[in-house]
Homo-oligomer: A and B are copies of this chain.
């Protein structure tokens, strides 16, 4: 086989471990995932794991960091393609809900992550998404599009609202209906942020579809 430098083997090993762990954590959960099992599935042993990540928690951190960076990329892509800042912000919120509907994100990032690693606000990674939303809000405030609330506090509130709602939607007996209701209610709440001048105008002009995201 091709003689490859050590550095490449290392990143490949790390990637294989993270991938295997990610699969295991997503399917059976962090607690039930046996390190012997999923390292073997990656063609390695626990020795490699402890060498690279210190312990099981360290590996979970790496997995979450990976997922979180993917989320950040997706979020910025969504807000970038929006027509107005406000619409971009709303789209970002709905995109958040959509992502939180994915079982992998729910299980690893939203449930096991906080339980094992402590509050997510501590880990620097999660703050990427928060920072993105905070930046959007700051921009909107500067534009005078919304009332002058604290951007970070608002971002946290909206974040929590979307994440929790997503978990409800995912387990609802009628997920499609639940998501529609949620997006409607979310729009109503977000309208509270809009500057008084625009209060009578809803997120989208009347007649248009309320929100295209969360396709049934």
Residues of B within 8 A of A171 (CB): 119, 121-122
Residues of B within 8 A of A184 (CB): 149-150, 153
Residues of B within 8 A of A168 (CB): 119, 121, 153, 156
- Copies of this chain per assembly: 2
Residues of B within 8 A of A190 (CB): 189, 192
Asked whether, in the complex, the Cβ of A153 is within 8 Å of the Cβ of B167, the reply is: no
* Residues 95-135 of A at the B interface (beta carbon under 8 Å): 106, 110-112, 114-116, 119-122
- Asked if A178 is at the interface of the complex by the 8 Å CB criterion, the answer is yes
| Count, chain A residues at interface, CB 8 A | 50
- Nearest chain B CB to A21's CB is how many angstroms away? 16
Residues of B within 8 A of A161 (CB): 156-158, 160-161, 164
> Known contacts A154-B188, A192-B194; can you find 5 more A-B pairs with CB under 8 A?
A111-B119, A121-B171, A147-B188, A157-B186, A189-B193
